[in-house]
Amino acid sequence: MIGFNGHFWRKKLEDFTPTETEYPFMATPPLIRRAAECVSVQHQLSPELYIVVAQAAASLAVQGLAVLKMPDGRFVPLSMYFLVLAATGLGKTPAFEAFLKHFIARDEAIDVAFKKAMKEFPARHRSWKRQCDDLSKMLSKARQKGEPLAHLQAELDSLIEQEPAAPRLQNWLVSDTTGAAFLQRLAGIGASIALTGDEGEKLLTNLYQYIADLCQLWSHGRTDSHRIGTGTTMVTGSRVMTLLLIQAENFYRFCETAGRKAFGMGVWARFLVITPKEPTPGFTSTENLDATNAPIDSFWARVVELVTERERRVKAGTTEQDIVEFDADARDCWEAFDREMRVRSSSRVASRKDSDADEGFKPGDLLDVRAFAAKASMHAARLAAVFAYFSGDTKVTLDMMERAIRIIRYHIEAYRDQFSLSKAIPRVVEDAMKLETFFHRLYLDTRGNTMISLDSLHHSNTTSDLKLDKYLLPALTYLWEQRKIRMSPTNGGKQYVNFRELINRLN
């Protein structure tokens, strides 16, 4: 039951229609939005795709420079993950090259410098070792002659501490990696990279190897790995921007074969998901855009400024980062949004009758996407912080917070399109209610029984449709997502449905 694959059921049941919600282009700050509009108009390709890739580039530029101080005093990284499910021809490669070209150019220069350093390293290390050997011999002779040793020992100790370290490739972009290589690239303190490429399938190939590390890094910027024979790899204060640009059908194929673990861990809830639409002539936000490169030039000037500052800090060994905070109004706005998300994603709140509906939202209406809803306020906080810092400010204002929340509300619907059980199978809500009635009747008829095997459900359920797995299993999953039932395997291999929690709520 864990790791429900909505795409599998969607193919077996009703035709699926994605949300018609329009992307809130105007919510993105002008410096980023105008650059995205400029390039998308020039290329005549999907504006939704371009604006998300522009946001990803902005988040990469700031993620190693600043941290966000939350209202409760926690410091969280500005790492952001994006999942773009785009059909062929919508402009994945042009968008990637347009907004990440500076990082690509930096990586090319870094690669040249790395190869040169690797070539020079053996000679440097041999020279250092000769100096250590010479001092060791001088110490030995001085000891034999009874001469003072303190100054020689101090010089040797100092030289040992200066052992040349093997060069590390500190590139910005990684388009393919194994789990071990991923952790090795981030080993130490404060590393910053982007897992991205214009062909996201490459990253999915080995994603299962480091998927848990990716979750930890999103949450708090640190992880560790213990492997027999290799010791421990510690990663602290690291920042990872992830941008998966992938065709929808390839992502669905991954979900069918290897995506259950990812879904069960809530990996995709850490991503801002979008499925760009085909561009239409004269879309509103770019109708009157002047044919000039000024917006994209301004965007890149800011990126270069931030990247240069990041490289300066790395060279100087500076690990401290700037602190981005909410102002009072932004904090109140964020706290209201956070409370809304908690109420709308809580099954217990949904079962109570209170006045929350009067606040403009229905308690429990996001239960089908509770994994994303639980992280929605954090997504909004980070996005607002990225917008603020990229725009040159360390204070998140009410305006920036409202912009970020508008965008996250769109991503809630986009996430629902891909992962909501009730969106994939509209009849599942009605089927789940039928199962609830059946379980309650079973409890009364048996005077307290709250367990039934999955096999028995195929035979004893009086609703003919629900004898079929294609309807029964989604309905059970829907109840499981609401924490009304639990699936309990036995030693004999059978699965049992435990509906004690459902009965407790009904009573």
Summarised one tens digit per residue, pLDDT across range 317-338 is 888 899 999 999 999 999 999 9
Same-domain check for residues 300 and 368: yes
Burial class of 407 by CB neighbour count within 10 A (0 to 12, 13 to 18, 19+): buried
In a domain, residue 157? The reply is no
Same-domain check for residues 218 and 299: yes
Q: Considering 400, 423, 446, which residue would you say is the last residue of a domain? A: 423
In a domain, residue 193? The reply is yes
Look at residue 21 and give its three-state secondary structure: coil
Same-domain check for residues 451 and 388: no
In a domain, residue 459? The reply is yes
In a domain, residue 153? The reply is no
Q: Considering 389, 405, 423, which residue would you say is the last residue of a domain? A: 423
Same-domain check for residues 215 and 326: yes
Same-domain check for residues 442 and 395: no
- What length does the chain have? 507
Same-domain check for residues 210 and 359: yes
The CATH number of the domain where 498 resides is what? Answer: 1.10.10.10
Summarised one tens digit per residue, pLDDT across range 389-399 is 999 999 999 99
Query: What's the mean per-residue pLDDT of the chain?
Result: 83
Tokens 């499925």 found at: 275
Take residue 480 and report the two structure tokens written for it.
Answer: 């499981």
Nearest to 86 by CA among 42, 52, 36, 44: 52
Take residue 303 and report the two structure tokens written for it.
Answer: 């990126």
Q: Per-residue pLDDT for 351 more than 60?
A: no
Range(s) of the domain holding residue 24: 6-109+169-423
Total domains in the fold of the chain: 2
> What's the mean pLDDT in 214-222?
85
Look at residue 108 and give its three-state secondary structure: helix
Give the pLDDT of residue 280. 65
Give the pLDDT of residue 430. 81
Give the pLDDT of residue 16. 47
Same-domain check for residues 468 and 325: no
Please tell me the distance from the alpha carbon of residue 429 to that of residue 482, in angstroms, as a whole number.
11
In a domain, residue 159? The reply is no
Same-domain check for residues 404 and 449: no
Q: Per-residue pLDDT for 156 more than 50?
A: yes
Task: Please indicate, yes or no, whether the overall pTM of this predicted structure exceeds 0.75.
Answer: yes
Same-domain check for residues 470 and 406: no
Rounded (5°) CA angle 211-276-340: 70
Tokens 């599998």 found at: 8
The CATH number of the domain where 235 resides is what? Answer: 3.40.50
* Minimum mean pLDDT range among 66-70, 83-87, 205-209, 301-305: 205-209
Q: Which residues contact 475 (CB under 8 A, 6 or more apart)?
A: 428, 431, 432, 434, 435, 466
Q: Considering 380, 408, 423, which residue would you say is the last residue of a domain? A: 423
Instruction: Write the DSSP string, 50-93.
Output: HHHHHHHHHHHHHTTTEEEE-TTS-EEE---EEEEE--TTS-HH
Same-domain check for residues 229 and 293: yes
Same-domain check for residues 360 and 494: no
DSSP β-ladder status, 451-453 and 495-498: antiparallel
Give the pLDDT of residue 28. 95
- Dmax (CA) for the chain in angstroms is 100
Same-domain check for residues 451 and 397: no
Please tell me the distance from the alpha carbon of residue 382 to that of residue 190, in angstroms, as a whole number.
18
Take residue 55 and report the two structure tokens written for it.
Answer: 């946001």
Q: Per-residue pLDDT for 170 more than 70?
A: yes
Look at residue 273 and give its three-state secondary structure: strand
* Minimum mean pLDDT range among 115-119, 289-293, 392-396: 289-293
